[in-house]
C-alpha cells in the first residue's frame, strides 16, 4: 500500500486551498490507516479485491470494521472527491475520537445531467462548490441535459458518516443551523454504464453563484463531459471576477484578492485546532464577500426562481432523517 500525502490536502497548513476541489479519485481504492491501494471489482460491483487477489471483505472482517453491505453510499463531488482531502478529514476526526476508523472504499462514478459549480466562499479561502442537477422533465437548466459529471462514491461506516456530516455542517435536530450548512438528498449514481446505486448527496442551503444571474460557473478542474455554453473557471479566475464585481479589496500585484487574505486568517485559526476555522464567519472580509454574493450574484433558473442545492430536483430529507445511516450500498445492474 502507498502512503497518503496528507500535506497535499487543501486543509493542511502545507496545502493550497486554491487546489480545491483537488484531483478526483480515478480508480477504485481501499484506504486504510493513512495508506491506500488500487482495488479490482466484480462486474456487479459487489465484491472487491486487491491486486494480489485478497478479498476486501476478509480484510474488513479481520480489522473488525463494518462490512461492505453495512456501509452507507455517499456522493463526493467537492473536496471529498480527493484522496488527500477525505483522508485528512477522517484522520483529524480520529484524533478527537479514536473509535472513528480510517478504513473505507472510494469508487469513481458519474451523475447524468449534472455539474459541479460555484456557490460561495469557504472558511479556508476558496470558492466552494455545489452539485447542480436537472432531469429530462424538470423544465429548468436545459443546458445541463446530456452532461456526465464525474464524482466519487464513498463507502462509509456510521461513525465516519457522522464525522463527515459534522465537517459539512449537516444540521443536528434541535440545534442552531450553522452559517454554512447542508441538507441531504438520495440520488442515482452510475458506477458503470450498466451499474447504478443510490447514494446520499449533500444539498447546500445556499443558492448557486452566477455573475450574470442566468448561468452557473463551473470548475475548470472538474472534467464534466458535454458541458454546455456556460463559463468554466479556475479558483484564481473566480476570485478575480468576484472582486471586480464587488470591489472588496484593491488589486495588488502578486496577491490574489480576497483569497490570500482569508487564507492567512485561516492559518492563524488552525493553530488552535480544526474546529476553530468556523470562527472565520466573524472575519469582516469573509462576511462582506459572502453577503454580497448571496444578495446580488445568485443563479436564477429560467422560471425566475432562485433555488438552493438539490431542491425541486430531488427530495431533500428532514433534519431528523439526515442522520439516518442510509442508503446502504446496494449496486444494481441494468
Give the pLDDT of residue 276: 82
What are the beta bridge partners of residue 147? none
Mean pLDDT check: name the lowest of 168-172, 176-180, 240-244. 176-180
Report residue 274's pLDDT band, with 50, 70 and 90 as the boundaries.
Answer: confident
Q: E-assigned strands of the chain?
A: 2-3, 29-32, 35-41, 48-50, 72-76, 104-112, 114-121, 127-133, 148-156, 182-192, 195-204, 218-219, 232-233, 332-333
Pairing of strands 218-219, 104-112: unpaired
Helix, strand, coil % in the chain, rounded to nearest 5:
30, 25, 45
What single string gives the DSSP state of each residue in 2-56? EEP-GGGSTTSTTS-GGGTT-PPP-S-EEEETTEEEEEEE-TTSS-EEETT--BH
Measuring CA to CA, which residue among 36, 61, 41, 40 is closest to residue 51?
Answer: 40
Q: Residue 198 has which C-alpha cell? A: 443510490
pLDDT of residue 179: 61
For the residues 267-294, what does the mean pLDDT come to? 89
When pLDDT is cut at 50, 70 and 90, the band that residue 279 belongs to is confident
**pLDDT tens sequence across 295-322:** 999 999 999 999 999 998 999 998 889 9
For position 79, what pLDDT does the model report? 97
pLDDT of the residue at 123: 86
- Assess contact for 167 and 89: CB atoms under 8 A: yes
Check residue 178 and give its pLDDT: 60
pTM of the complete model: 0.95
- If you count them, how many residues does the chain have? 334
Render pLDDT for 66-120 as a digit per residue (tens, 0 to 9): 999 999 999 999 999 999 999 999 999 999 999 999 999 999 999 999 999 999 9
Residue 253's pLDDT band (cuts 50, 70, 90) = confident
Q: What is the pLDDT of residue 292?
A: 97
The predicted structure's pLDDT at residue 219:
98
Of 32-46, 85-99, 257-271, the least confident: 257-271
Q: Are 105 and 48 in contact (CB under 8 A)?
A: yes
| pLDDT at residue 8, rounded to an integer | 97
- Give me the residue spans of the domains in the chain: 2-333
Alpha-carbon distance 48 to 150, whole Å?
21
The single residue listed with the C-alpha cell 469573509 is: 286
Beta bridge partners of residue 209, listed in sequence order = 298
Burial of 262 (0-12, 13-18, 19+ CB in 10 A): buried
**How many other CB atoms sit within 10 Å of the CB of residue 316?**
19
Q: Is the Cβ–Cβ distance between 47 and 55 less than 8 Å?
A: yes
Residue 176 confidence (pLDDT) = 66
| Residue 174 binned pLDDT confidence (cut-offs 50, 70, 90) | confident
Cα gap 261→314, rounded to integer Å: 37
Instruction: Give the pLDDT score at 195.
Output: 98
Q: Residues 75, 186: contact at Cβ < 8 Å? A: no
The whole-chain average pLDDT of the chain stands at 94
Ordered alpha helix ranges (H), 33-179: 56-62, 83-96, 158-168
Amino acid at each position: 500500500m502507498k502512503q497518503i500525502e496528507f500535506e497535499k490536502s487543501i486543509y493542511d497548513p502545507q496545502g493550497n486551498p486554491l487546489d480545491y476541489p483537488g484531483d478526483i479519485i480515478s480508480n477504485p481504492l481501499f484506504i486504510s490507516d493513512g495508506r491506500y491501494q488500487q482495488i479490482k471489482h466484480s462486474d456487479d460491483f459487489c465484491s472487491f479485491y486487491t491486486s494480489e487477489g485478497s478479498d476486501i471483505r476478509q480484510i474488513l472482517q479481520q480489522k473488525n470494521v463494518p462490512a461492505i453491505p453495512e456501509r452507507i453510499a455517499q456522493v463526493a463531488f467537492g473536496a471529498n472527491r480527493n484522496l488527500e482531502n477525505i483522508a485528512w478529514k477522517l484522520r483529524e476526526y480520529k484524533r478527537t475520537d479514536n473509535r472513528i476508523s480510517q478504513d473505507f472504499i472510494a469508487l469513481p462514478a458519474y451523475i447524468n445531467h449534472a455539474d459541479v459549480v460555484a456557490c460561495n466562499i469557504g472558511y479556508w479561502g476558496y470558492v466552494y462548490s455545489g452539485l447542480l442537477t436537472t432531469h429530462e422533465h424538470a423544465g429548468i437548466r436545459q443546458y445541463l441535459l446530456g452532461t456526465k459529471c464525474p464524482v466519487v462514491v464513498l463507502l462509509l461506516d456510521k461513525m465516519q458518516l457522522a464525522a463527515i456530516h459534522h465537517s459539512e455542517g449537516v444540521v443536528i435536530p434541535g440545534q442552531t443551523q450553522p452559517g454554512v450548512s447542508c441538507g441531504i438528498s438520495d440520488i442515482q449514481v452510475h458506477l458503470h454504464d450498466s451499474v447504478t446505486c443510490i447514494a446520499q448527496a449533500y444539498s447546500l442551503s445556499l443558492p448557486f453563484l452566477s455573475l450574470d444571474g442566468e448561468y452557473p460557473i463551473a470548475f475548470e478542474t472538474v472534467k464534466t463531459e458535454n458541458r454546455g455554453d456556460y463559463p468554466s473557471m479556475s479558483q484564481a479566475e473566480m476570485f478575480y471576477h468576484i472582486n471586480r464585481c464587488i470591489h472588496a479589496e484593491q488589486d495588488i500585484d502578486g496577491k490574489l484578492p480576497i483569497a490570500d487574505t482569508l487564507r492567512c486568517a485561516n492559518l492563524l485559526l488552525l493553530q488552535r485546532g480544526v474546529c476553530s476555522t468556523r470562527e472565520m464567519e466573524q472575519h469582516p472580509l469573509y462576511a462582506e464577500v459572502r453577503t454580497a454574493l448571496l444578495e446580488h450574484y445568485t443563479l436564477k433558473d429560467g422560471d425566475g426562481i432562485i433555488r438552493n442545492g438539490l431542491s425541486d430536483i430531488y427530495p431533500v430529507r428532514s433534519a431528523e432523517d439526515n442522520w439516518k445511516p442510509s442508503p446502504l450500498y446496494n449496486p444494481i445492474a441494468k
